Amino acid sequence: MSASFSLALNAAREAAASQHYPQGALYVVATPIGNLADISLRALHLLQLADAVACEDTRHTQALLRAYGIDKTAAQLMAVHQHNEAEAAQAVIERLRQGQRVAYASDAGTPAVSDPGARLVSAVREAGLRVVPMPGASSVTAALSVAGAMGDDGAFVFAGFLPAKAMEREAAVGALAQEVRAVVLLEAPHRIEALARALAALGARAITVGRELTKQFEEVATVPCAQLPAWLAADPQRTRGEFALVLHAAPEAPQGDEGLRVLALLLKELPVKSAVKLAAEITGAPRNELYEAALKIKGMDAPGSESGAGSSSPA
């Protein structure tokens, strides 16, 4: 433990020790996604206070705790990962029923967000026991905060890891093409190139890549989806590390452009007046503007001109 974390432990006790930490509760603890300093004072205090620490990887968590100067015995560390989560949850519940405080930490970031923990939390709640959040680091919110990717409504979708199989991944990307909100994706280094090739189908839509967020070689870049494979290939280092990507919200098409697009399609099948009427109803674009555009598309003269004296604008 460095001297700085010794001071942090003291600060944690000063800031958080007077707060209430009920017994018989599961504490869901967010841990750093890379930078060890991204740990909250409450989390540090709770990890010292906890009777047991359930974790995705006991060796990883033991090393993390020791870096902060927190000592837990092997008996106090419980392995709860994706392969044993349902069974291990029962062991956690037994400790909680004994009045113990149990902290749960995945390897990095906030548990249960594309990490183990969701089934554990569900089992604890179903047992009628309390679950307490200890918020902190998250690659999802870290990527969103620097992407500038959300629309005016501030909405986004968390998609996490797309399917590993090529056909399923391409189908998922096809669905993303219809999603107008910002979308957060996660990916591992050995699959990032395959994901980039699939996302290239989204063309000019912008995507922000967050690589190795909070770490020494952190990199954040925004490129059109079509250029993502080339961006990765430009530097061998860019395929290394963990990735959080934000597909930007789809830009709203100007109403006039949408009206003209719909109008052009309808004119292929319908007379001018019918096409104009339907295009106006579908898009809300002004009917008179659509009528004038339709005449130009059809190569007809506007009403009132010498050759078009017999024409009339739509009602």
Q: 119-168: per-residue pLDDT in tens?
A: 999 999 999 999 999 999 999 999 999 999 998 888 999 999 999 999 99
pLDDT tens figures, 179-191: 999 999 999 999 9
Nearest Cα neighbor of 289 from 254, 314, 252, 253 is: 314
Q: Give the pLDDT of residue 22.
A: 97
- For the beta carbon of residue 273, count every other beta carbon within 10 angstroms: 15
Q: Is residue 171 part of a domain?
A: yes
| Claim to verify: residue 95 and residue 84 sit in the same structural domain | yes
The radius of gyration computed from the CA coordinates of the chain, to the nearest angstrom, equals 28
Query: Mean pLDDT across the chain, nearest whole number?
Result: 91
Give the count of domains, the chain: 3
Please report, as a single letter, which amino acid is at residue 55: C
Please indicate, yes or no, whether residues 241 and 150 belong to a single structural domain of this protein: yes
Asked which of 137, 163, 184 is the last residue of a domain, the reply is 137
The strand pair at 219-224 and 206-211 is best described as antiparallel
Per DSSP, the three-state class of 160 is strand
CA angle 15, 16, 19 (to 5 degrees): 130
Residue type for position 1:
M
CATH number of the structural domain spanning residue 16:
3.40.1010.10
Q: Is residue 313 part of a domain?
A: no
pLDDT in tens, 51-84: 999 999 999 999 999 999 999 999 999 999 989 9
pTM equals 0.78
Residues 12 and 80 in one domain: yes
Report yes or no: 247 and 202 within 8 Å, Cβ to Cβ: yes
Clarify whether residues 242 and 263 are in a common domain: no
Give percent of the chain above pLDDT 70: 92
Q: Return the percentage of the chain with pLDDT > 90, whole number.
A: 77
User: Do both 38 and 121 map to the same domain?
Assistant: yes
Domain holding 284, by residue range, is: 255-308
pLDDT recorded at residue 258:
80
85 lies in the same domain as 36:
yes
> Is the residue at 314 inside a domain?
no
The reply to whether 11 and 112 lie within a common domain is yes
